[in-house]
Amino acid sequence: MSQESETTCATCAASSGSESEKPKRYKYRMAGLSASALVGGIILDLTGFDILVVYGVFLVSMLSAGQFIMPRGARGLRKFRLDIHFLMSSASIGAFIIGAPAEGAAVMFLFFISMLLEERAEDQVKKELRELVELEPPSATIKMNKGAEALIPTSEVRRGDTLVIRPGSRIGLDGLVVCGATSVNQAPITGESLPVSKTIGDQVYAGTINQEGYIEVEVTSESNETVLSRIVKLVEEAKNKKAPTEQLISRFSRRYTPIMVTLTILLGLGSLYLGATITEATYRALTLLVISCPCAFVVSIPVSIVSSIAGSARDGVLVKGGIHIEQVSKTKVVAFDKTGTLTLGALSVKEVCLHNNYSRAEVLTVAATLEQMSEHPIARALVAVTEIEEYKLGETKGFSAIPGRGVDGQIGDTKYFVGNRRLLAEQQIELDTVTEHSCGFGTMVYVAQEQEHLGTIILSDSLRSGAVEAVRELREMGIDTIMLTGDSETVAKEIAEEVGIDRYLAELLPEEKVRAIEELSEQGSSIMIGDGINDAPALAAADIGIAMGAVSSDAALETSDIALMQQDLRKVPSLIKKARKTMSIVRQNIVVSISVKLLVGVLATFGLVNLWVAIGIGDMGLTFAVIANALRLVRKEQ
């Protein structure tokens, strides 16, 4: 039954692909017919063939291509929206009327070729999206009762089902490994170049490839909820979020066409007034009409932006709209969260400084007893060390978390505080500063009982791989770097010096991070990089919020402007370079398009160019050049 189902799906897919190819094949056949008729008409005209036959052949060329253009021009005219299709249709028909059928046919044929080029450019970007969609297999093998297996569509697999993943096969859905060990190629999702080891309890993602071992995976997300499906959805939505430059050009083009039609009419009338024949005046006006077609720069901008978004997605960077590409290109300052961004966020107890005759066991037990109620990384590190050293934890009453400071609660009848220096200061607890106990460097957690300081726990964190290189590259690009952290001044200074960051702000509460970002934004466009959850207010306050390792966080994908699917900070300077390159290409295309059109337009006004030059250089050639320039952005960064 499952095999029949798979066969049916394959047949349907093949049929669907065949149907979608039919219109394209027809268009290419019509382009071939139009080209053949155009060449044939020119040969017949040069050999002195009967004029009616020559006109007939040129008419075949015009109509073969024009069937895709003229109806659109007519619809635009009926709705009083004069567009590019109206311009080209008017120029082609006008050329036939004034006795220039070769030029009329050429206008229609070459414009049709430029349309096909635009479609190819769009197809290239759609291909990138389609490749993302196709990463998820249409079917998956699931484990049934008594060890039996069944191949079913991924859309029918439910949470809790167990997938059977053999070496070399693509993982169908997100889930947790429950049996076996392997390495997985996660490049399609995270952009990681090397396979990642997976064993029992590890997360795997739909669309990734099992390299070598046999594993069984318990499904945690259905087909429409996987990380891959969310990426595809967000990239598709990003295509519709236009950058400011793109919006400006769109508004400009709507007003531009009626203006150019008016100028064309005035040029024709002016030429008649200055003594040109009606044929000469009309021909000159039609040439300007063709040159005025704005398709080159109108098309090149969305192609550039969407190509950049698609290329970034292939590189493991999810950009949620063209507006963000443009904003990133203007970046002046990049702000980093510390824990979990510049550092791994996996804290461990480095040292315990003892005060007032309390023991290491007492200090750690009190701290872990309170912190066992919390999911904070510091809490996990404190609980972990007591498990290793086999301390027995008590029960907490009246537990409460104090944002940006720590926690408090009762153990028995005694009130305890565990947190940073600010917490103890606010509780008016005097800190013990006995000199023989050197607390060293790291994240300091103070433990107090009522009004007495019991001890200070020092936790350390490891620097994230690639952090130093990323910061160095940003500084070389002339971008200011700053670290924002709630950690102590001592720890912040140590990490900032190790990473090579320009400056830092320490002991910040969440709202203080927001104020810091707002002040940074006054210097120019700002980027904030954080984990996408704890740093949500600061991410939202920045001009661009970038979430780290969004592959493991639903919130990161939803709240950030840009998400790094892999926890690699080196992607940030690469993204800024790509954004700058994108906007550079956009500017190149706009400047070249307008310059060429102005030059050819001036020449056309004085009758120095014909319709062949107008369409060959001023329209089709220019369109081809700017689209080819834009499509360079699709390539994956090496």
232 DSSP 8-state letter: H
Quick one: which of 223, 224, 198 has its CA closest to 209? 198
Report the distance separating Cα 259 and Cα 266, nearest Å: 11
- Cα separation values, 101 from 48, 53, 63, 217, Å: 15, 12, 12, 68
Amino acid 66 reads G
Catalytic residue among 83, 161, 315, 337: 337
Report the distance separating Cα 268 and Cα 281, nearest Å: 5
Amino acid 563 reads A
Amino acid 244 reads P
- SS3 percent helix, strand, coil of the chain, rounded to 5, is 55, 15, 25
Report the distance separating Cα 54 and Cα 40, nearest Å: 9
- Cross-strand partners of 180: 215
Backbone torsions φ then ψ of 408, nearest 5 degrees: -140, 165
What angle do helix axes 295-314 and 227-238 make, rounded to 10 degrees?
160
Report the distance separating Cα 274 and Cα 579, nearest Å: 50
Quick one: which of 62, 87, 55 has its CA closest to 74? 87
Residue 148, both tokens: 């039996």
Q: What is the DSSP string of 19-34?
A: HHHHHHHHHHHHHHHH
Per the listing, tokens 């096909």 go with: 116
Q: What is the DSSP string of 86-142?
A: HHHHHHHHHHHHTT-HHHHHHHHHHHHHHHHHHHHHHHHHHHHHHHHHTTS-SEEEE
All residues at 6 or more sequence positions from 13 whose CB lies less than 8 Å from its CB, including other chains:
138
Q: Is residue 396 helix, strand or coil? A: coil
**Does the active-site annotation cover 315?**
no
Enzyme catalytic residues: 337
